[in-house]
Amino acid sequence: MPHDHAHHHIDPKAGDGRLIGAVAVNLGLTVAQIIGGILSGSLALIADALHNLSDAASLVIALIARRIARKGATATMTYGYGRAEVVAALVNYTTLILLGIYLCYEAALRLFDPHAVDGWLVVIIAGIALLVDLVTAALTWAMAKDSVNIRAAFLHNLADALGSVAVIVAGTLILLFDWQIIDPLVTFGIAGYILWMSFSEIGGVIRILMLGSPAGIDTDRLIEDLRTVDGVQDIHHAHLWQMQEHEPALEAHVVVAPGRWSDADRIKAALKDRLAGAGVGHSTLELECARHACTDSQRIGHS
């Protein structure tokens, strides 16, 4: 899901009540689905219930991470706790991947040992689940656009809503045609979607934690642009990363052109303006005079 890299001025406490409400309804639904799955004999319904339980867990993790992220910087955590939300997203996506693998395993066992399924009970409970999934999605959709943490929880819920639709279809086919094999097949479909969705999103989270450059900023192009600033002879030892999801940062050594050292403050201000225009609001620039500049330095990273 694409997003810009500018600073987002959002009330940090906005949405906590919605998350708490979403947790409550998902926990209640999970209990109902598990009971219904056991009574009806439907693996697909139990699979949907387990995914719904992971929805509730993901929302709890997201809520805790949001609160931790509000803590300011300290002597031991000089960048603050903003990355707690990124870590929470990684935990949620990893949990989804493990859940998807487990559901595939259970569905494979059910193919070789089919059980009778009560289609009516499956359809009724899955219909209630779909309604709750849609309510939860509505509660988290707006926040998901600005937070990788909430986006992970939202995608948990979206996958569960699609799973509920699939379970309703399975129950209907069992009622109409007694296709008992459709239950494990639908479970495979739910698991496959969970795995596809998780793998497609987890890469961006890992990129932030591995100090990769922001996906929307071309590092080479940015450095070339900075080198065109009047009074800059060269730029090296550059690092571009994301301190938090929406906070790109850069540090670099800037070689001031010969005879321009008296303009150092103006050159630095011009560089910071250029960076701000590119969406990089945090920068640390070490100015070097041309005569005493670093030698044998790499353009990007350490020597």
- How much is the pLDDT for 15? 65
Give per-residue pLDDT as tens, 90-121. 988 898 898 889 888 888 888 887 777 777 88
Residues 22 and 170 in one domain: yes
3 pLDDT band (50/70/90 cuts)? very low
User: How many residues are listed for the chain in this entry?
Assistant: 303
Beta strands (DSSP E) in the chain are 232-244, 247-256, 282-289
5 pLDDT band (50/70/90 cuts)? very low
Average pLDDT over residues 54-59: 75
What is the CATH classification number for the domain harbouring 240? 3.30.70.1350
249 vs 295 pLDDT, higher one = 249
Q: What residues pair up with 102 in beta bridges, in sequence order? A: none
Mean pLDDT of all residues belonging to the chain: 83
Q: What residues pair up with 234 in beta bridges, in sequence order? A: 255
209, 242, 268 - which closes a domain: 209
186 vs 233 pLDDT, higher one = 233
Q: Is the dihedral of CA 85, 88, 93, 96 positive or negative?
A: negative
Helix axes 43-69, 119-144, angle to 10 degrees: 20
Residues 155 and 238 in one domain: no
Residues 128 and 277 in one domain: no
Residue 11 in any domain: the answer is: no
- How much is the pLDDT for 303? 62
Residues 98 and 173 in one domain: yes
174, 209, 244 - which closes a domain: 209
Residue 303 in any domain: the answer is: no
Residues 168 and 245 in one domain: no
Query: Residue 299: pLDDT above 70?
Result: yes
Helix and strand totals (H; E) in the chain: 8, 3
Residues 48 and 150 in one domain: yes
Highest mean pLDDT among 19-33, 58-72, 195-209: 195-209
Give per-residue pLDDT as tens, 147-167. 777 777 777 777 777 777 887
Residue 249 in any domain: the answer is: yes
Range of the domain at 87: 16-209
Residues 171 and 225 in one domain: no
Residue 302 in any domain: the answer is: no
Identify the three-state secondary structure at position 285: strand
180, 209, 238 - which closes a domain: 209
Residues 125 and 267 in one domain: no
User: Of 191, 95, 102, 198, which Cα lies nearest the Cα of 155?
Assistant: 198
Q: What's the Cα-to-Cα distance from 82 to each of 5, 114, 196, 205, 266, rounded to whole Å?
A: 15, 48, 27, 13, 32
How many CB atoms sit inside 10 A of residue 303's CB?
Answer: 9
52 pLDDT band (50/70/90 cuts)? confident
Residues 157 and 246 in one domain: no
Q: What's the Cα-to-Cα distance from 174 to each of 23, 49, 145, 186, rounded to whole Å?
A: 31, 19, 38, 12
β 282-289/232-244 pair status: unpaired
What is the CATH classification number for the domain harbouring 90? 1.20.1510.10
Give per-residue pLDDT as tens, 18-36. 777 778 877 877 788 788 7
| Token digits of residue 151 | 């986006």
